[in-house]
Amino acid sequence: MPRSSETLAPPLGALLRRYRDAGEPLSCEPVSQGLLNRGYRLATTRGAYFLKQHLDAPTADRDTISRQHRATQRLHALGLPVAPPLADSAGRTVAVIGGRCYALHPWVEGRHRDGAQLSTAGSRRLGALLGHVHTCLEQVMESPPPGEEYESARPADTFRVIDELLRLTRARHPRDGFDELAEHRLLERRVLLAEHAHRRPPPAAAAGWVHGDFHPLNLLYRGAEPAAIVDWDRLGVQPRAEEAVRAAAIFFVRPAGELALGKVRAYARAYRRAAGADGAELAAAVHRVWWERLNDFWILRWRYQLHDRRADPQFPAASALVVWWTREYEAVRDAFTG
């Protein structure tokens, strides 16, 4: 569940005393990006660091964070661009202070780049990078449990969600442009789902370890080259190719809700080569992620049920993409598999 935007000042004195060579604090500025946890640029007498405060309840316990840290250390040893946490004087990478978990990482200079800022060659590099992430995770993580199936959304459940969100949308007074767009998209989606309910995909069985949240705000570039994949909170077992499709749907969506299919094609070819995935695996992933998007309303849930508007700017393009993707289904599938 998302947290509010309250400022939770980190206990710098108690934290830095645990790190022998971190120095004394000079400044600690919040990093604006990030929806679920808190990040700070910490400057000390010894240099710059990224201080992460873990707040997202499903992943904020010490054991889960430590597993993520071990994974990034092993991935770094394999040559992937990651920024593993620093160990304190006792060799620990998670500091628990006042019941909250913190981790100190090296500061990585770089910038975020979305698909519009990537060339075709950059799109290929992105696909190859994610493919390498998946194959390297296969080397450093334990084998996923066999036989586990991943169900897709049920239309009956989605119709109930639509009805509830419509009720909340219409109850707002005064209404604004977002409310009008939300109602329009909910009504539109109800019709689309009724038309395509028979296309619900079967459970997915093939799964592997994935980053879990691979998108532009979790990848830093230095020039044209990826410098660091960050935020491994959602590290877990999922159908691998679905992460590749989800990432492309975020990186390469245009403001009007269309995908830049030329770049998607370059990205997907590179991903397939690096991950050893075939066209059939990608085709099944495209269908399941399309269905997931058709049934998903997380942005509206945040706004109307959790009263959290931080994701609102994503809604126009994300909601338009579902409509466009449904209309251009074959073209999208061919871009990922051709």
- Of 18-32, 99-113, 248-262, 276-290, the one with minimum mean pLDDT is 18-32
How far apart are the two ends of the chain, measured CA to CA in Å? 38
pLDDT tens by residue, 77-96: 999 999 999 999 999 999 99
32 has pLDDT over 70: no
pTM attached to this predicted model: 0.92
Burial class (CB in 10 A: 0-12, 13-18, 19+), 182: buried
Tokens of 128: 């190859």
What are 29's strand-pairing partners? 41
Please report, rounded to a whole number, the percentage of residues in the chain having pLDDT higher than 70.
Answer: 96
- Is the model's pLDDT at 209 over the cut of 50? yes
Q: Is the pLDDT of residue 257 over 90?
A: yes
Nearest of 35, 28, 38, 36 to residue 7 by alpha carbon: 38
CA separation for the pair 261, 36 (Å, rounded):
30
Say if residues 195 and 30 touch (Cβ distance below 8 Å): no
pLDDT over 80 (residue 192): yes
How big is the chain by its Cα radius of gyration, in Å? 21
Say what the pLDDT of residue 33 is: 57
pLDDT band per the 50, 70, 90 thresholds, residue 31: confident
Confidence of residue 4 (pLDDT cuts 50, 70, 90): very low
Do 104 and 87 touch, CB atoms closer than 8 A? no
- Do 333 and 284 contact (CB within 8 A), yes or no? no
Output the CA angle 20-95-69, nearest 5 degrees: 95
Q: Tell me the percentage of the chain whose pLDDT exceeds 90.
A: 87
Range in 114-128, 137-151, 285-299 the model is least confident about: 137-151
pLDDT classification of 3: cutoffs 50, 70, 90: very low
pLDDT at site 91:
95
